[in-house]
Amino acid sequence: MAKVDRRIVRTQEAIKKAFLELMSEKNFDSITIQDISDRANINRATVYLHYLDKFDLLDKIMEEHINNMSNLCELEAEMDWIESTVHCMEYLESNYLFFSTMLASGGAPYFRSRFVQHNIEEFKKDVDITKGKNLGQSEDVVVEFVANAYVGVVEWWLKNGMPYPAKEMAEKVGDLLERII
């Protein structure tokens, strides 16, 4: 595996951080590459060296977080709902700027639908309509319900400045998930 140049990583992190800060301050449509480069304290050409445009930058940031969440979910396959949710809430908390911008402020409206879709795929792995409390239900309805409820609670938590610590919030959400799934 090729060694990653730390300067490249630092530059990309500075670009992403600048972009997210700008998105928390103003509408995506009004952000320019010049704004991003000024905030990151780099040349405009450097931004273009790493990203095609601001849409590419946004897509790459969203994909990075969705992939990180997917990897977390894969690692948590052997855990119960509460344990699994603790890790997810801690990830959300440690990436507050991104998730609060994308969900709570409406910074990128289509991120919410991608986040819901990610959760639908994850919850599909756990919904069983052949027995128990979901016997006879439509898998699609149960999964849509759970994924949208989960994303809604995450939005509420972020919009309200994370009124519960990640672990406590995870216990509350995990307990609710166990009741449904």
User: What integer pLDDT is reported at residue 77 of this predicted model?
Assistant: 56
Three-state SS string over 49-110 comes to HHCCCHHHHHHHHHHHHHHHHHHHHHHCCCCCHHHHHHHHHHHHHHCHHHHHHHHHCCCCHH
pLDDT higher than 70, residue 17: yes
Tens of pLDDT, residue by residue over 69-84, are 888 766 655 666 677 7
Residue showing tokens 């027995």:
131
Copy the structure tokens of residue 101: 């911008």
* Residue-wise pLDDT tens digits, 97-145: 899 888 866 666 788 889 999 999 988 988 888 888 888 899 999 999 9
Q: Is 113 strand, coil or helix?
A: helix
Q: Are 39 and 18 in contact (CB under 8 A)?
A: yes
Q: Which two tokens stand for residue 114?
A: 């991608």
C-alpha span between 69 and 137 (Å, rounded): 27
Token code pair at residue 12: 């990309």
Residue 175 pLDDT > 60: yes
> What is the model's pLDDT at position 24?
86
Which range, of 28-42, 95-109, 141-155, 161-175, averages the lowest pLDDT? 95-109
Domains, the chain, ordered by start: 1-51 (1.10.10.60), 61-180 (1.10.357.10)
Where on the phi/psi map is residue 52: left (φ > 0), alpha (ψ -120 to 50), or beta? alpha
Give residue 163's pLDDT band: very low, low, confident or very high (50, 70, 90): very high
Is residue 20 very low, low, confident or very high in pLDDT (cuts 50, 70, 90)? very high
pLDDT of res. 70: 80
pTM for the model stands at: 0.82
Rounded (10°) angle between helices 54-75 and 109-124: 20
